[in-house]
Structure formats: C-alpha cells, structure tokens
Amino acid sequence: MKGVGVTALLVIVALAQVTVAPLFTIRGAVPELGLLLLLLLALFAGPGSVMAGLPALALFQGFASDRAPGLLVIAYLPLLPFAAALEDWRVPLWEYPRAAIALVVAGFWLRGVLAFGAIAQGADPSFGALVLDVLIPGAFLDLALLTVAYVPLRFIGWGGQRLSLQGSHY
Amino acid sequence: MVMFSRYTWWVGGMIALAFVFAVMSQVGLMSPFQGLFLQAAAPFENVLTTVFEPVASSLANIGNLNDLQNENAKLRVENEDLRNKITSLQQDAEQVNDLRQALKIAQSGGAETHVAASVVGRDSSPFTETVSIDKGANAGLKTGMVVLSAQGSLVGTVITVNPNTAFVRLITDTKSKVNAQILESKALGIVQGNPGRTLTFDLSQADAKVGDTVVTSGLGGNYPPNYTIGRVSEVSGTPQDLFRKVKVEPLVRVSTVSTVLVLTSFTPQRIGATGP
C-alpha cells in the first residue's frame, strides 16, 4: 500500500515538474519538485522509500520531459547519501537546517549535472550564467519550498526518520 | 561505517542502472514506454496546467502591476500604429493585385499549412527550454519541423515525435540557434537562447538599433525566411566592434505559450523520421 502511494506521488510530482514548476521561475531556475519530494520522503518515510523511488522518479520525469533518465538518476543520486552523512557526522544542527543544507548542496549538483548534460549536447558553456541565473536562484526556490512543505508536516506531528541505514528498518 | 558501505552499494547500483537507462535510450527501447506514459498522463497534465496557470498568472500580475500599466499604454500606441500600417498595406495589396491582373502574372508560392497543437507540458531545467504538445506523428509531425505561435511568430522546432505527442525545443533554449536578420538593415546573424531565458543576436560588424525587428533569414534551410522572432531590446558596444552584444525580446512569451502551430508545408534541411 505504501509502495502504491509513493509511486502515485512520484508520478504526480513528475507531471507537476513539467506543468506547474515552470510557472514559478526565478531567472533561469525552476523549482525542483522531484528533489524536494525525495528529501521529504527520506525525512518522513525513511531512506528505503528514496532508494526504491529514485530510479522510478528519474524514469517518470525522463518520460514527461524528454530528458535522459540515466542523467536524472545521476542528478538525484547524492541527496540521500549526503543527508545521511550530515546525520552520521553528528553535525550539531537540528533536522530542518540539516535538511536545508542537504537540499541546497543536492540542488547545486542536480542543476549542475543537467546544465553539463545540455552543454554536452551543444549548448554554449556559460558558467557565470549557470551560477547567477540558475544555481543561486534555484537554491532560494528550493529553500522556500522546503519551508512551505516541511513546517506543516512537522506541525501535524509527522516524525523525522533516521537516515542511517543501520538505524532504520530497511 | 555500516551505513557508508550500504549506501556505497546502492550508489554503485544506481550508477549501473543509469548506464542501462542510457543504453536503452540510445537504442530506442524507452520510446514505446514514453509514448504510453505520455498518452496516459495527458489528461492529468491538462488538469494541472488548467488549475495552476491562472494562479501563477495572478501572482505575476500582482508584482508587475506598474509594468503592466506602462506596457498597456505602450501597446495602445503600438496598436494604433499597426492599424494604420494594415490599412496602408491593404491598399498596397489591392494595387499589387490590380497590377498582377493587368500584367497577367500568376500568384507565386503555395499556401502554408499548419497543424494546431496545445502545449501540455514544459521543461525549463537548466539550459533547457522545451515544451510537449498534444500532436505527434499521427498528425503528420516530423522532427525538425518549425513551430510558430498562434500569431505566426517563431517559437521553436520539433525535436522528438511520439505517435500522439511531440517535444518542441523553444528558441530560448541554449541549444537553439536560428539564422536571422534585422528587417530594417538586413544585417545577418544568429539568434540564440541564453540560460536566463533571453535571446541574443550575434551580429558581426553591422548596425542595430533598439526597436529593430528581427526575423528569420532562411539561410541554412532549417527555417523559412521572414518569420518574426522579436525586437532588439538592448545594444551594447560600437559599430566598430567585431561582435556586438544585441539582446532580443521575443514577440511572444515562448515559455508560457499555450497554443502553437506546426508548419507542415515547409520542409527544413534537417527534417528527420517521424519517430516511433
């Protein structure tokens, strides 16, 4: 049942990424709803959902946007290990700032990988524009969306999950 | 350490899976599944667009109220100017017709044919600007075909065709390069997209003024000539510079366009197969 729910969420987010997200842009950056969903799944449903859901999300989003699913797998990949490493290193931060750091770093990676993918296919390399028009506005969008999504979920009592694999039931 | 080693195995597995996906995409094994997914998803995409587009539009308008008032005033003046030009052109056309009849010259050039399509999805990830439309190979679309706005301005080209859907690369995509010319000075150059969803016109040693109209030149054979791309909005550098920076504002907001026309009567040089 949980698997069906997560799959439905992944499909909805993949479709929202090509219909809703492009309506809310800052300069060259769009909200990365898939990345946000993976982080929220990790925090509220545990790392196992993300480990199984990431390739499915890459496939759905690749189909919806005509992007290479393989590139999307690589683009989403560091989020979970990095968030788990932040937890494992016992960085003296609460869950929200840890999640925010993980999202921003993973967002830089994701947008960078997608940009390099486009450059490899013939787009002009423009690293200044990548930073100013894509990475920095993208980080603001990600943080704003995380705040909007995370706070209500914590408020209604959803508990945070441990991201370390030995600490979870997966 | 246990956590690290287990994640390492997972990361390794995902990299292998990414490689498998890449190979499957290359040999076209993904295409049938993509076609099915897009067909099933089309109604949901329409619902999401219908619900959220007015919300986004209202939010944008609240922030830009002053700009909109100024733009409205400017458009009223421009509208009047254009109406006058239309009247003048109609008179010219009548005169040309009369002269043609008098000289018995046959009308040259065939009629344009289009396929109208609705935009059902947009991908605006870094350096990429594509839209998906609800017409595909079954409607006669082929990769490479030119896509126009409902008013006839250049929007982009078809890059992928499925049986009932297709993907269009917009002119603001960083991979898009269009041979163009300035209508007023006939200066030639290449219009290309930028990461900030703007257009630049690479123009070598020629003059350009703010307000000049940029149209397709037809050179290279991938776009028909004389389709409007936009207006020059900023020129930096002097005419003596080898390359001047010219910014072009598209006449149509290509990233929010909802209906497009695929030009089926023009065969571009790079036209491809209909796809799967």
Class of domain B112-276: mainly beta
CB contact residues (below 8 A), chain B span 236-275, against chain A: 255-256
CB-nearest partner of B18 from A21, A28, A73 = A73
Q: Are B148 and B114 in contact (CB under 8 A)?
A: yes
CB-nearest partner of B195 from A12, A28, A73 = A28
Best of B3, B129, B202 to mutate (most A CBs within 10 Å, chain A): B3
Give the bridge partners for B160, in sequence order.
Answer: B167
Q: Structure tokens of A13?
A: 């987010």
Q: Report the pLDDT value the prediction gives residue A169, as an integer from 0 to 100.
A: 43
Spatial CA neighbour of A95 closest among A31, A167, A157, A163: A163
Per-residue pLDDT tens over the stretch A93-108: 778 888 999 999 999 9
* DSSP class per residue in B174-198: TT-EEEEEETTT--EEEEEE-TTS-
CB contact residues (below 8 A), chain A span 76-115, against chain B: 77, 80-81, 84-85, 88, 111-112, 114-115
Whole-angstrom distance, CA of residue B229 vs CA of residue B177: 12
Helices B65-103, B31-63: crossing angle, 10 deg rounding: 120
Whole-angstrom distance, CA of residue A78 vs CA of residue A142: 16
Q: Report the pLDDT value the prediction gives residue A113, as an integer from 0 to 100.
A: 93
Per-residue model confidence as pLDDT tens for chain B (276 residues)? 444 567 888 999 999 999 999 999 888 888 889 888 988 888 888 888 888 877 777 777 776 777 777 888 788 878 877 877 887 888 788 888 878 777 766 555 557 788 999 988 888 777 888 999 999 999 999 999 999 988 888 999 999 998 889 999 999 888 898 999 888 888 888 898 887 778 888 876 667 888 888 999 888 888 998 898 988 888 887 766 766 778 898 888 776 788 899 999 888 876 554 433
Spatial CA neighbour of A81 closest among A142, A139, A38, A145: A38
The strand pair at B199-204 and B243-250 is best described as antiparallel
CB contact residues (below 8 A), chain A span 52-81, against chain B: 54-55, 58-60, 62-71, 73-74, 77, 80-81
Residues in A closer than 8 angstroms to B126, CB to CB, are: 28-29, 111-112, 114-115, 118, 130, 134, 138
pTM: 0.79
Inter-chain CB proximity A58 and B21 less than 8 Å? yes
CA separation (Å) from B127 to A130, B124, B209?
8, 8, 28
Residues in chain A where the model's pLDDT stays below 70:
91, 159-161, 164-170
What Rg do the C-alpha atoms of chain B give, in angstroms? 23
Domain residue spans in chain B?
2-51, 64-103, 112-276
Per-residue pLDDT tens over the stretch B135-148: 999 999 999 999 99
Inter-chain CB proximity A15 and B125 less than 8 Å? no
Give the bridge partners for B155, in sequence order.
Answer: none
CB-nearest partner of B6 from A77, A119, A165 = A165
Instruction: Name the strand (E) or helix (H) holding B92.
Output: helix B65-103
ipTM: 0.86
Residue B249's CB is within 10 A of a number of other CB atoms, namely 15
